[in-house]
Amino acid sequence: MRTLMLMRHGKSDWDVGVPNDHARPLAPRGVLSAERMGEVLRQMDLVPDLVISSTATRARSTAELARITGGWDTRLVLEDSLYGASVSETLSVAARLGSGHERVMLVGHQPTWSMTVHHLTGARVAMRTATVADIELPISEWSQIGDAHGTLVALLQPRHFVT
């Protein structure tokens, strides 16, 4: 059994002068949501073994804030291909993991995240900012993820948790 967690980046700040979408930072609300989800996942004993994040500023910041505030002893890997990725590109990132990690979190973007949840589970979900989808997959190796049909165990939204 493997568990894939998909976390959408926190609310981004559209009012800052950045050169492109990739550089757009988190808004103050996005920072708070990322921190809240880090704590919630620790409290629920859902801390991932590995976090792989899009290199976009808002995604990377979300991953870093969740890890730091949640007190996770988890390695963060930046993956450029998650920015603008399709479902198949997202699954290929997970497929390259091998067998060393049982619970992996990918931090990235819409609409790919809700499409990936649907592809893996058949569920249609609203992946609002900083939402985490927790998906159990009946596979022994990450290389099997392309053909896997999993179960959506939890859909956690920061607005449902008060700190």
Q: Which domain holds residue 97?
A: 2-15+22-160
Distance CA 16, CA 24 (A): 8
Close Cβ partners of 129 (under 8 Å, ≥ 6 residues apart) = 8, 9, 10, 11, 12, 30, 33, 158
What pLDDT band is residue 98 in, cutting at 50, 70 and 90?
A: confident
Residues 115, 110: Cα–Cα separation, whole Å:
8
Reported as a pLDDT band with limits 50, 70 and 90, residue 163 is low
CA distance 31 to 36: 9
Q: How many domains does the chain have?
A: 1
For residue 162, pLDDT beyond 80:
no
Condensed to tens digits (0 to 9), the pLDDT of residues 16-46 reads 877 788 999 999 999 999 999 999 999 999 9
Provide mean pLDDT across the span 69-75. 96
- pTM for the structure as a whole: 0.96
Look up the CATH number of the domain holding residue 116.
3.40.50.1240
Could you tell me the two tokens for 126? 């609203």
Q: Span 101-114, mean pLDDT?
A: 97
Please tell me the predicted confidence (pLDDT) of residue 18: 79
Rg (CA), the chain: 14
- Ordered alpha helix ranges (H), the chain: 28-43, 57-70, 87-95, 112-121
Mean pLDDT across 50-59? 98
What is the distance between the alpha carbons of residues 16 and 126, in angstroms, rounded to a whole number?
26
Contacts of 108 (CB under 8 A, 6+ apart): 6, 7, 8, 9, 53, 54, 59, 82, 83, 85, 90
Percent of all residues in the chain with a pLDDT value above 90, rounded to a whole number: 90
Lowest-pLDDT choice from 55-64, 96-105, 116-125: 96-105
